[in-house]
A and B are shown apart, each in its own frame.
Chain A
């Protein structure tokens, strides 16, 4: 385990619903980087993230997070995790909900206001989460992952359903976190977001197709557009060797 990697995954296998959905994954995520996790629907992004935060039963292999096995009790206030389906209480206001999660994390109460501003919900802080729009609700859920002082932030499709302006704001926020040394793992369907990542993990059907920088992906496939590069990679991987 090098100090250089915030997450080390070795030979990870996961079975779900009677099928193997992750097949012998091995990769590392450098500390203080933003890593994009990309791939078609159902390829196993959420499952991989669940394994990293330690809520997924795994069939084999090892996941090491900040030098400890994933799910280790000492990691529980060092990881911020936003699930794909927004996870906050619909019958609480944004502020009340954040206040509860802050208390569970032992984060200072001032964090609540900081996070509300960071996710741009200042005008809706005292609205019930259940009465927010889809994008607002997912930002309320994202806010929970930013509470406290996480060293690793795992975000499952945090920008789905957001307009370009908000997406830009959130990516600036992610950049700032990474500059402070926080490691981010962010899944996305949107390929133009891939360009904002330092590293890309491209997944397909439970395997890693590529683990490289956007630049490497472009030069390897000869496609500037990352979406095309990804399609190219898939096409190449299907050609029998």
Chain B
């Protein structure tokens, strides 16, 4: 691994995004707009405050998953990956380069959505704002890591998009956003227990509701970060220098 190459990769990806202003604006603004939409859909600050924390985790996860799976797939299918693999670039340089670039973007995205929710939409955050941003960032990184991973199993961008209902939707449905996890049947609760997004949402709810940082919260953080790292490492294993 080389820090210089990783940062050069991050810079390259951010430069690519700079030339695609529409994507950047959509990534930054859409989650905030959806929060506004939800607030007026519920038409009640209380009801909005119940779902908002979870959504601050789900949005970056979903968007980063989509963006990453498509951009890395493009790298695999155009010859740029083949060419990079003949150069002194480590696989982790590439993956961390992506993770840092999209992680930074996710941070802006969540900061904006949180800021708007707190300032105008009546969301109250009892705990630490920094911690909330950290959790949302980890969610985004989890999305990045899973996006990288599925890009190895898709041949076309069309296939990559099809992974969203497979990887993202079940997590979003079972993470406790729609129904408390304890109220699900035991099969679904068990399933929800093995999906990393559930822990992210639990942590986000906790940080919003209380000031104390307890063992469960720390465990949740470790689980989300661990899952993201695991997906990144498996993603690295799917990048091959030699191909058939």
Contact = CB atoms under 8 A, between A and B. Distances in A.
Interface of A: 15-17, 50, 53-57, 71, 73, 76-77, 79, 81, 83-92, 96, 100-101, 103-106, 128, 144
Interface of B: 4-5, 8-9, 11-12, 15-16, 19-20, 78-80, 82-89, 241-244
A89 to B, nearest CB: 6
A73 B83 contact: no
B78 A81 contact: no
A81 B20 CA distance: 28
Given A91-B20, A96-B15, A81 B86 contact: yes
Given A89-B80, A92-B15, A71 B241 contact: yes
B243 A57 contact: yes
A103 B6 CA distance: 10
B243 A55 contact: yes
Going nearest first, the 5 A-B pairs with the smallest beta carbon separation are A87-B79, A103-B8, A83-B79, A100-B12, A76-B88
Given A16-B244, A96-B15, A87 B80 contact: yes
A15 B242 CA distance: 13
Contacts of A50: 82
Contacts of A81: 83, 86
B242 A57 contact: yes
Given A92-B16, A103-B5, A57 B244 contact: yes
A78 to B, nearest CB: 10
A81 B244 CA distance: 18
Contact of A56 (B15, B78, B243): B243
